Every structure is written in C-alpha cells, then in structure tokens.
Structure 1
Amino acid sequence: MALDARRTFTRQETWRAWQLQGCVCNLCRRAIPFDLMQGDHIVPWSRGGRTSSENLQAICGSCNLRKGSTAQSVVSVRFSADRLSSSTAPLRSWQADAMPIVLSRLGQEPVLVEACPGAGKTRFGLEVAHELAAEGQISRVLVVVPSLAIADGWARASSAATPGAPTLPLRTQRDWRAVDPIGDEWLGAVITYQSLFSSTEMFLAHATDPGQRTMVIFDEVHHAGANAAWGVSAQEAFAAGAWGILSLTGTPFRTGRDPIVFVPSEDGNARPHYRYSYDHAIIDSACRPVQFVEARGETTFRTSDQQTHSVTFDDTGVTQARERGRLRAAIEWIGEGSIAERMLIDANQYLLSLRQRGDTDAAGLVVCIDCDHAARAAGHMASRVLGFRPVVACSRLHDENDPDPANAIRVFRASHDPWIVAVNMVSEGVDIPRLRAVVYLTNRLTLLSFRQIVGRVVRTDPANVDDHGRVYLPADPQLLSMARRITENVDLLPPPLVIVTDGERALRVGSGNGGDQARGTFEALNTVGEQGGVFDTGGRDAHADLVACARLFIEREGLTGTDPESLALAAVDAPELRRALLALQERPR
C-alpha cells in the first residue's frame, strides 16, 4: 500500500475545513476555537488515506486523541466505578469536617482547602475524588502538582500499596505521555505544572473528552499565578472544560500582586473554604510538635568595600548589612569547627540517639543553597561527620522535574540511609515520614519557604507516634522569629526577603517585590560554632547554658535514653532537674 508523500495538512487547509463545518468539531460538534483544532485524515494516512481536501476534517484535540488511526467514530466510554476501592482507615477529624463543605461547593465554584504540611491533604484529595467518582458525578480526575517527586507521592498514595487510603488508578508521567489517551481503565492522571504548560492543548482535550466529567485538583496551587505561564496554561486548559476544581495548599499565600488561578481571595488574601492550622494539628496529634535548636558563634566575612567584619550571633545593634552577612557566612562556610559543622554534628548525634532508642530508620535532611553548596556539605559530612557520603538530591538543570534527584528522593524514602542533602527538591508536598531532623543551611528566608521546610518533619509516623521533629538553624533573628510563630495563623504573607547568591562571591540582598537591591562581592572567611539554646512549639525555651549543662550531665551519667536539647526542655518544667543541671556549671569537670 502506497502512502501519500505528504503526511500533514496545512493550517490554511484546516481553517477552510473548519469554516465549512460551521466552526465546530466535525465529530463531537462542539464549538471550539480554531487554535485548538487539528486537521485529521477521515481515512487514516497510515491506511492509505490521501492528504487532500476530500479526506480532511477539522476535529478537536480530544476527538483526535480518541480516534487515533481507528475508524471514524466517537466512542464515549466512562470509567467504571467498580475499579475503585474504598479507604479502610477512618478520616482524620479535619478531613471529616471539610468533606461535606467541599462536596457541597464543587461543581458550583472553585474550592480552596488549606491544611498545614503533614495534615493529610493528599489523602483528603483522593477521598474527595473517590466519593465523586463512586457517585457518578465525575468520570475523570487530573491532579496537577509542582514536581515529579510530588507526582510520585500522589501515585503511591492512590495505589493499593498504601493502606487506609482509597485506591484510584491514576496514570503518571513515568509511564504515560500527554499525547496518548488516558484510557478507560484509568480514572485519570497525575501531571506537573510544567507538563501542563508544555502540553496545554492536550490537557484541554483530556478535560473535555466527549462523555467525560472531569475534576481537576491543583496541589500547592500558589504555583499557578494568574499572570504567570503555569497559571495561564491552567486557565486555558480547565477554566471552561472542568466540571469542578479543587485547590490544595499547605501554607497561606499572598495574592495581592499576582492573583492565583481559581483561588477565592479578598483584599489580597487567599480565602479558603476550609482551613486547618498547624496548632490545631498538634492538638489533634495529626502532626508532630517541633523543637528548634539554635546555633551560635562568631562569623568572619569580607564585603565589597574589602573590609573584614567579625560578627557574633550575640551581638546586638548590628547593621542590616552585617546581620545578613553574618547569616550568609554561617550557612556558606562549612569547615572544621564552623557553625554549619556544629549543626551537622549535633543533628547526626540526635539521629543516632533516636536509632539507638528504637527509631531504627530515623533520617535527616540538610537544605542547601545550590548544588555546589550541597556538594560541599555532602563532602564535609563524608569526611567529618558520617564517614560516608549522604544521598544528594539536586538538579543542576534547575528543574524540579529532573528525574535524577526525583529518583534519589524516591529511593531514599524507602531506604534506611540516615541523611539526604537537597536544595529545593525536598520541600512542599514531598512525603518522607521517617524524616526527624532538618539542618537549615539555605538562603530561602520567606515565611512560605520556611514553613514548607519545617513541614518536612511534622508528619506523624505510625511507627513512632510519641515523638517530635527537630530543626537546627543559625540564631538569626528573622529565622528565630519565623520559628517562634510557626503555629500562628497567617492570612497575608509579607513581601519575601531573600538572600540570593549569584556565583561563588556575589551577594544580592533585597525584597522579592522588585525593590532596590544591594549588589557587591562577598566572601565568607570563617565561622566558629558555639552551643545555642532550644525552644519548641509548646512554648518551652531553654537557654544555651542549660543545654550545655544537660550535655555534660548526659556525658557524666552515661545516659542513652535522651539528648541534651530534650533534657534541657524537660528541665524547664521540672525545677529540681533544672537546679541539678545548672549546678554542674560550678563543678570542676
């Protein structure tokens, strides 16, 4: 069989066919803009059909996906709810409270649910999709997420491998392409915002596939700014074609400057239909409480005027420039005796103590500035802390969907490795329940980023219910302020303040709202780490001297069932223990 030498129709030919058809798709008869129409062979080209006007029809993307190279027809087959499996575990109290609110509004307006990191947003989204699919209100679900690693989490949560949650057959980008039909044996797909942007027309086709009623779930919806590329593609694909839209977020976000698509707002504030805050999650035991361990000491750095400065974290009245230089030196300089090393060693000792107490797969996360910084941290841990190289998840392509770090995270999640070093791959939405500690060596200083990073250690672990998360951080006033307010409800986030590194020596400090920025060379020369204090989300606060005494007490008594920070916090509520610990200051060692 000889095939026509010309494979495709021109846009002018397709335009003419579309006009002759009355500006509708020739198969489903829907009025669809020409930009979304495709020229199709009535008799498929692969079967000898000619590329001529007599064999041309203009059809929409969804009809073209379904038709493929088959006979001329539109088959409307919906997903069978018989393939669904209900959850076997009861809903958390907030999920049960939110469910009727969300179900009553979906299909009428876009719905926003805000629940703190670790509270179970993924499970909630799956429960909503299961309920609607089982009742026949929807026949397709598209879940849009920020990264491939988070897509893996949704696929894992919706599979039979996750006990308790409903089982929903969802495709992912690991084994499916947007240009392929979803297939009637699948309820839908989990995709990334980047994939939505690059294949907007295809996802419009999937959302408007004849006979389907599609619900779209946006995870971490703040990525979809209305005027940004991801937000524009979301509107083009789903504004008119989706039956219902559910948006999920773990952190309040500001919408005053750049509205978020499908998000209800008032005076620049996102207004969720249901909110579940971190303080309530702690009370309900849905999330772990968190301890914050301060690292103090002296920093030495050189600024653009070639002046060398030595600033400690106990100095007061320092200029804003020196304050920021102090923080940058603390997180950048990773050497023997440094502030960064102090945090890494203390955090590793804490993990070792947890593992000795029975939490055998307890793990930690080091959050770094960039891939070069992550490589230095991993190398230092190998030579001075662990004796072997930790897992590193970093994309030098600056791509959240880079498969190399995504695969590293997936392997780490199921392993017993104690440490993972990452830049921004392990943040929002990445579920690694065995994480117990975070070492904060990043220049991400926005309240949104801070809460997302802390959120990695608040998720409860059924194997270790009575525990807490821990964050090691430099004693920078801004970081400490955000840590002390971690349980507060926040409606409107302030403009972000970010220290941006550009190469090895450049420093740019300023607000993320496009204001003035100071530029100049910067060089971290040295830091010397010292013991800092510790405080927790319960309001307890132990100063550095008490922690140092607790450390000495544990060493003298040979204790293995606790750690200095936890013992110091316990002494805050136990006057006799506090006096016993502080008495060690006056005794010779």
Structure 2
Amino acid sequence: MLREWQKRCIHQVLNQYLNHSDALVLATPGSGKTIMASYVAKSLLDKRKIDYIVCFSPSKVVSQSIRVTFEQILERPFNGQLGALGTSRTYHSMTNINELINNLSMSRVLVIFDEIHHCAGDGSSLSNTWGFQLLSTIQKLATYTLSLTGTPWRADTLPIPLARYSDPEGNIQCDFSYDLIEAINDKVCRAPLITAIDTDQVMVRKGQERKTYRSIAELLENGDVSYRMILKQPETITYMLSLSIQKLDELRTTSSNSGGLIVAASYAHALQIQAILSGHFGKSAIIVSYKQEDSAELINSFRDDSSEWIISIAMISEGTDIPRLQVCCNLTDVTTELYFRQILGRILRMTTEQTAIGYMFVLAEPDLVEYAERLNQAIPDSYHYEQTDRLLEGVEIPNNQANSNHGYQDDTRKTFSDINVDDIFGSNLNELINHSTLAELSMSSFKSRIISYYQAL
C-alpha cells in the first residue's frame, strides 16, 4: 500500500510531465523513494506514454534493490534482457552507454536517476563523467526523466544535473519535497537521537613537550592532531563501541533482529574496529568495502539474517535498504553534511517490529555537532525550499532522556586507562595501525551529550 506522501508525489510528478519532461523529487532517506518511482513508471506504462525504463543508481547493491522493487511492482522482468520492461544499472556503467543510445533514440523511455547528487556539471564547467554523460546524451534522448535525492547538494558545490535553478547562485527548485520532520510526524521514518562523545582530558606529546586539551574541538583547533588520529585511538573506539553495543543489546531484548552499523575510515581502521569488537566485547562483525568483490552478497545476507554488527567503508551510506539497522557508530573521517545525512538515513527506516527511534553515536567534531543540531532543516539555507517550523508530534520520549539534550551527561564519564592494547590486538597491532602515531595522543576521559529531536524545532 502506498503512503500518503507517495500518492501526492506520484500525482505531482505525472502533472509535471504534462508540460515538462524532467522532474526532481527530494524525499528524506528511508521514506520510500524507489517504490514511489516504480509506481510513476507503472502509471506511464499503463497510459502507454513510455515503452521502457532505465534506472541509474550509485552502487551495485542499490541497483539490485531497485531491480527487485521494479519487478515486484511491474510484475515483469527488469533485468535488461529480452522481454524485460527495463534495466537497473550503476552510474559507473554510464561511461559506456553506447549500447543504450539506440534504445533511447528509438523508444519512449523513462530514465530514473537515484541519488542524483552523485552527478555534477553544467556542461561547460569541470564535471565528473556521470554528470557530463547525463547532460550531453541521456537527458536529450529520454522521453521523461525522474531524478531522486534525499540530500540535494554536493560537498564540491557543483550543480546537480537536471535540476531547474531559481537563481544564478544555483538554488534548487524541487518539484516535490518531503522532509525528515514530515516523515517522522507521518510515522514513515524514525526520529534520530544522536549522542555526541567528547573528552574531558586529552594529552598530546611532541618530543618533550606536552599539551592538555579539554575538548575535541579545542584539540582540533590547535592543529597538532588530525580527526583521523582521534578516530584511531583504541580508547576512542572502545568507548564509542561500548555505548553502541549497550544500546543495541537493549533494543534486541524486544526486537531480536535489530542491527548495528559501524562506519569506518579505511580498511585498516575497519580491521582495528573488528579486533576491538571481538577481543574486548566478544562481538563478531562482517566488513564490507569497495575492495571486496562479494560485498554486495554480504550486505544482502546481513539484510536477511539477524546478526548484530556490520562494518562498512563507503558501502552503506545511501540507498542501501536494511530496515533492521537501528544503531550507528559513526567512526568515519568524512565530515561533510552530505555524508552525515546519508549515513543517518540508514537507521531511520521505520519497521513494525522496532521502536520509532534511530540511534547514532558520533564524536563531538564541531562540524558533525553542527549538522546534528540543524537536522530540522530539510536542506541547507543556501538552497531554496519553502518550509515552516513544525512540532514533532506523536513520538514518545524515553523518561531517562527527556532532559538530556541540554548538555553533557556527568554519569557517562569513563576512564579507559585499564585497557591493555596488546590484549585487544595481539601481535598484529602494527599491521593494523601505526603505534608510534598513537603514542603521541592520550585520551583518558569521555562524556556524552544527547542531541534530541522530540521538541519543537
């Protein structure tokens, strides 16, 4: 059954096609954009306005998920082979799109671009290959295009193809928008509860010189230590994991298949995290990354089983549908707002078996804290979007968290001076991380601040 926002969106897009060939839809991650798009395609097919559908998406995992959804809704194959109504491909395949050009030019085709912000370029400025191909070939040949995004901006500020701009600054005018606040109020998405982890005491040693800092922001502002170095600290990882594991264990007492996502900075970092999970907490986790050919299969397996943890390096950020994910331990060194919201979207898909809250644990890096505090904005102020302030209604606040968003909790302070690094990593420590780098930084105490979204925004 379609959700109310999906029905409104389908109606708006079909009306848009009466006078224009392109449509751009912004819908918050986890709200069901793919299902909406499949019904747009079905309606156009039923009205005999198109003959074929081509879907592009960022990754193999997402491409496979789109294919499954379209086959279910259209009740026909969607594998690009003889007798199929369409095909689902990755953006990377667009570097060799000659095989599609004949179909695009000789047939009436709907082209759907999932997470369109992956493409950039205006035809004259520098652009990536995907954006150039979109603008120079596909847009001209497609009968209709439908662009989908949950995060309609790019860190490099390059314009998104197929968007109609309202002014020279590149302010985006969406044809339909459905933001996170609406999705929470409609019980389509979970409400996010983000815990920012800071420190009371950090000591940095440079030769004989020692400096002490009282927060991560102060430490990073000084410039002696990078954010990635903080993320590699065993104390940091252990504390972040302890909170994440505690929350997931609590959730699994009532929903045994709730899952947790850990986002790592690199493959070596993922191995380090996996070692701490196993050696210190007795927990197992699979790792998925672009380096592994079987990552798509591992993700699909994790989606369907009831195991606890999956560690990702640039694999589970957007479009990947694993509804049972409810806890995220964010340990990536990518600190853009785009990536932050993409990751958060992985734990906000609503299910009937689980609670209406998604939990993210993140270090109190200044940019990340700022992003968390302005999640009430559908898109950044630099982009055009008409929105009024609304209350988050119908979401119950756990009693022990109702007043926790005003500052850092004193009762969560912990010291990890008793952790034996060699016990955690064994003899392979030097293969996983640079021990000499870690020796320059000592973090001895942590505190937590919960950023809650159950109040007026």
TM-score by length of 2: 0.80
CA spacing shift, 1:184–1:434, aligned 2, 3 Å: same
Return the alpha-carbon distance in structure 2 between the equivalents of residues 504 and 136 of structure 1.
59
1:404 to 284, 288, 294: 294
Match of 1:395 in 2: 290
Match of 2:93 in 1: 195
Task: Give yes or no for contact 1:255–1:269 (8 Å, CA) kept in 2.
Answer: no
Task: Give yes or no for contact 1:277–1:489 (8 Å, CA) kept in 2.
Answer: yes
- Paired amino acid for 1:299: V
CA-CA distance at 1:301 after TM superposition: 4.2
Return the alpha-carbon distance in structure 2 between the equivalents of residues 96 and 524 of structure 1.
57
1:477 to 356, 366, 374: 366
Tell me, yes or no, if structure 1 residue 231 matches structure 2 residue 136. no
Tell me, yes or no, if structure 1 residue 150 matches structure 2 residue 69. no
- Paired amino acid for 2:454: G
CA-CA distance at 1:261 after TM superposition: 1.8
Moved more, 214-223 or 150-159: 150-159
CA-CA distance at 1:344 after TM superposition: 0.5
Return the alpha-carbon distance in structure 1 between the equivalents of residues 361 and 205 of structure 2.
25
- Paired amino acid for 2:108: R
Match of 1:339 in 2: 236
CA spacing shift, 1:366–1:454, aligned 2, 3 Å: same
- Paired amino acid for 1:414: D
Task: Give yes or no for contact 2:272–2:433 (8 Å, CA) kept in 1.
Answer: no
Return the alpha-carbon distance in structure 2 between the equivalents of residues 351 and 308 of structure 1.
38
1:423 to 306, 313, 316: 313
Return the alpha-carbon distance in structure 1 between the equivalents of residues 5 and 224 of structure 2.
40
Match of 1:275 in 2: 177
Tell me, yes or no, if structure 1 residue 119 matches structure 2 residue 119. no
Task: Give yes or no for contact 1:253–1:493 (8 Å, CA) kept in 2.
Answer: no
Task: Give yes or no for contact 2:117–2:151 (8 Å, CA) kept in 1.
Answer: no
Tell me, yes or no, if structure 1 residue 104 matches structure 2 residue 20. no
CA spacing shift, 1:540–1:330, aligned 2, 3 Å: farther
The residue correspondences of 1:29-178 to structure 2 (distance < 5 A) are 89=1, 91-106=2-17, 108-160=20-72, 165=73, 167-171=75-79
> Secondary structure of 1:240's partner?
helix
CA-CA distance at 1:374 after TM superposition: 0.8
Match of 1:384 in 2: 280
CA-CA distance at 1:492 after TM superposition: 5.1
* Structure number, greater radius of gyration: 1
- Paired amino acid for 1:287: C
- Paired amino acid for 2:371: M
CA spacing shift, 1:256–1:389, aligned 2, 3 Å: closer
Return the alpha-carbon distance in structure 1 between the equivalents of residues 208 and 158 of structure 2.
39
1:263 to 138, 153, 163: 163
Return the alpha-carbon distance in structure 2 between the equivalents of residues 118 and 413 of structure 1.
15
Return the alpha-carbon distance in structure 2 between the equivalents of residues 143 and 450 of structure 1.
25
Aligned length: 398
CA spacing shift, 1:203–1:300, aligned 2, 3 Å: farther
Task: Give yes or no for contact 1:364–1:438 (8 Å, CA) kept in 2.
Answer: yes
Task: Give yes or no for contact 2:219–2:225 (8 Å, CA) kept in 1.
Answer: no
Q: Percent same amino acid among aligned pairs?
A: 26
Task: Give yes or no for contact 2:26–2:152 (8 Å, CA) kept in 1.
Answer: yes
> Secondary structure of 1:239's partner?
helix
Return the alpha-carbon distance in structure 2 between the equivalents of residues 312 and 125 of structure 1.
49
> Secondary structure of 1:445's partner?
coil
CA-CA distance at 1:482 after TM superposition: 0.9
Return the alpha-carbon distance in structure 2 between the equivalents of residues 311 and 407 of structure 1.
44
- Paired amino acid for 2:328: V
Match of 1:186 in 2: 84
- Paired amino acid for 1:137: K
Q: Deviations over 1:371-392 (max 9, x none)?
A: 111111111111112x243110
Tell me, yes or no, if structure 1 residue 487 matches structure 2 residue 379. no
Higher RCO (C-alpha under 8 Å, 6+ residues apart): 2
Q: Deviations over 1:99-140 (max 9, x none)?
A: 121112237231100001011111111110111111111110
- Paired amino acid for 2:279: S
CA spacing shift, 1:113–1:540, aligned 2, 3 Å: closer
Task: Give yes or no for contact 1:225–1:260 (8 Å, CA) kept in 2.
Answer: yes
> Secondary structure of 1:157's partner?
helix
The answer for unaligned runs of 5 or more in structure 2 is 122-126, 384-431
Return the alpha-carbon distance in structure 2 between the equivalents of residues 271 and 255 of structure 1.
18
Return the alpha-carbon distance in structure 2 between the equivalents of residues 391 and 361 of structure 1.
16
Return the alpha-carbon distance in structure 2 between the equivalents of residues 99 and 324 of structure 1.
52
Match of 1:354 in 2: 251
Task: Give yes or no for contact 1:214–1:242 (8 Å, CA) kept in 2.
Answer: yes
Task: Give yes or no for contact 1:368–1:441 (8 Å, CA) kept in 2.
Answer: yes
Cα RMSD for the two superposed structures? 2.7
Task: Give yes or no for contact 2:154–2:338 (8 Å, CA) kept in 1.
Answer: no
Q: Deviations over 1:58-115 (max 9, x none)?
A: xxxxxxxxxxxxxxxxxxxxxxxxxxxxxxx1x2121111112111223723110000
Return the alpha-carbon distance in structure 2 between the equivalents of residues 523 and 110 of structure 1.
55
The residue correspondences of 1:8-47 to structure 2 (distance < 5 A) are none
TM-score by length of 1: 0.63
1:299 to 202, 224, 234: 202
> Secondary structure of 1:528's partner?
strand
The residue correspondences of 1:196-215 to structure 2 (distance < 5 A) are 196-197=94-95, 199-208=96-105, 210=106, 212-215=107-110
CA spacing shift, 1:452–1:122, aligned 2, 3 Å: same
CA spacing shift, 1:168–1:130, aligned 2, 3 Å: farther
CA spacing shift, 1:128–1:168, aligned 2, 3 Å: farther
Task: Give yes or no for contact 1:369–1:423 (8 Å, CA) kept in 2.
Answer: yes
Q: Deviations over 1:389-424 (max 9, x none)?
A: 31100123xxxxx63222221111111110000111
Task: Give yes or no for contact 2:263–2:332 (8 Å, CA) kept in 1.
Answer: yes
Return the alpha-carbon distance in structure 2 between the equivalents of residues 421 and 319 of structure 1.
27
CA spacing shift, 1:375–1:146, aligned 2, 3 Å: same
CA-CA distance at 1:204 after TM superposition: 1.4
The answer for unaligned runs of 5 or more in structure 1 is 1-88, 172-181, 397-401, 495-502, 506-520, 542-589
Return the alpha-carbon distance in structure 2 between the equivalents of residues 453 and 154 of structure 1.
19
Task: Give yes or no for contact 1:340–1:529 (8 Å, CA) kept in 2.
Answer: no
CA spacing shift, 1:256–1:273, aligned 2, 3 Å: farther
